[in-house]
Amino acid sequence: MNNSTSQKATMKQSRQSKIIALVVIVAVVLAGALLWFYQQRKHATTNGTIPTALNFRIKFSIYSGFAPHFVALEKGYYAKEGLKVDIQPGGPGIDPLKIVLTGDADVGLASYDQILLAREKGLPLIAIGEDTTKSGVGFVSLASSGIKTPQDFIGRKVGVMPGTDKGTVYDALMAKLGIDRSKIQEIPVQFNLAVLFNGTVEVFPAFITNQPIIARDSGFEVNIIDPDKYGISPGGNVFFTSEDTLRKKRDVLEAFLRAELAAIMDSQSMNDGEVVDFVLKYNNQLKRDTEIKIWQSTKALILPKDRSIVGIMPRDKWEHTAQLFKQAGLLKNMPDLEKCYTNALVEDIHKRGF
C-alpha cells in the first residue's frame, strides 16, 4: 500500500471515528433530555401543575344547594390539590350510584339511606365523607289546602318519588306514624312544582331548603311538613365512591375531600351574592334573587358548622338511618355499617390540617 492510499484509509477511519463519537454524544444528550423531561413531568404531577382529572356527579340539577362544590371549583380549591374536577349534574333519569359503580364518575353524592339500600343489594359502594348534616327532605302543601301534618294526607292526592331519598323518607314517615296508605291517593311525580300549583297533587315531596322558596317566589304560600318533627331524621348527603376506585385512587379522593371540606366551611363566610354568582356561571337559567334565598336557607339548615369535625360521618347517624328504614320495611336486615362508610380519609385530612 502506497503512502497516498494509507493516508486516505487513515482519514476515512478518522471521519468514521468522529461520526461514531458524534452519534454517541447525540444519544447521550437525548437520553439526558428524556431523563430530565421525565423527572420534570414527575415533579410537576406531584406538585399539581399537571392536574389529575376527576369526574364528580352531584344528585340533581345545578342550583345553589350545591354551591360549595362550585366555590371549590371557582376559587381554585381543587386546583390547589392538583385536581381538574368536572362537576356533572344529576336529575330525572340520572342515577349517580350507577354512574359511579360503572366507573363513569369517580365520586358522587347520595343520601345515607341510598348508600344503605345499595349495600343491601350487594353494590360495592362506600361513603367517604359527609356533605350535609341532615336530609332536608320534607313535604309541602298549598296554605289554602289546610294540609299541615302527615295525618292530613289521608284522603288527599300525595305526590311520591319512588327510588329517591324523597321516596324512602315518605315510606319511613308513613310506617312510623302507622298511617294507612290505602286511604291516600299516591301519585308519582317528577321534580317540577307545577303539579302542586295546578292541583294535580295536594302534597309535594320537596327539599325544604329550596322548593318552599321557589313556591313563594312564584306567588304560592305553602305549608311545610318536616319529617324531623316526627322522629324521621335520616342523615343528609355523603360523598361516595366505589370500592375499586377507593383502592386505586385513595390519594386523589383524599385531595378531593380536602378541597371540598375547605369549600363547605369557607363558603358560609363568603358574600352570599358572590357564592350564587359562581353557581349561575354553570346554570344561567336560575333566578339570582331566589338562589340567594336558597343558599341562605341551605347554609342555615343543613351545612355543618364545626370545622373541627366537618366531613366526619357519625356512626349513630348511620345506625339511626338504618333503623328507620328497617322499621319501614325498606331494609330487610341491619346492614354491616363497616362496609357502608369509612371516615379514614377525612380523619387523615383533619390530622394534617386543611
Task: Give the domain ranges of the chain.
Answer: 1-50, 54-134+236-352, 137-230
Q: Are strands 237-242 and 107-111 parallel, antiparallel or unpaired?
A: antiparallel
Round to whole Å and give the CA distance between 346 and 344.
Answer: 6
Angle between helices 272-280 and 67-74 (to 10 degrees): 80
CATH code for residues 54-134+236-352: 3.40.190.10
Q: Which cell goes with 193?
A: 312544582
Q: Do domains 54-134+236-352 and 137-230 have the same CATH topology?
A: yes
Q: Give which of 58, 103, 56, 101 is closest to 83, Cα–Cα.
A: 56
Are 256 and 244 contacting, i.e. CB atoms less than 8 angstroms apart? no
DSSP 209: T
Q: Which cell goes with 226?
A: 318536616
pLDDT digits (tens, 9 = 90+) for 14-63: 555 555 545 445 444 454 444 443 344 444 444 546 899 999 999 999 99
Which residues 6+ apart lie within 8 Å of 317 measured at CB? 112, 235
Q: Which cell goes with 275?
A: 357564592
The pLDDT assigned to 50 comes to 85
Q: Give which of 140, 136, 134, 135 is closest to 224, Cα–Cα.
A: 140
DSSP 181: G
Are 137 and 207 contacting, i.e. CB atoms less than 8 angstroms apart? yes
Are 47 and 82 contacting, i.e. CB atoms less than 8 angstroms apart? yes
Is the pTM value of this prediction over 0.85?
no
State the sign of the Cα–Cα–Cα–Cα dihedral 144, 148, 190, 221: positive
Residue length of the chain: 354
Task: Provide the β-strand partners of residue 130.
Answer: 238
Are 177 and 153 contacting, i.e. CB atoms less than 8 angstroms apart? no
Which residues 6+ apart lie within 8 Å of 226 measured at CB? 138, 208
Residues of the chain where predicted confidence (pLDDT) is lower than 50:
1, 8-9, 11, 21, 23-24, 26-29, 31-46, 48
The pLDDT assigned to 20 comes to 55
pLDDT digits (tens, 9 = 90+) for 198-239: 999 999 999 999 999 999 999 999 999 999 999 999 999 999
The pLDDT assigned to 23 comes to 47
The pLDDT assigned to 302 comes to 95
Architecture of domain 137-230: 3-Layer(aba) Sandwich (3.40)
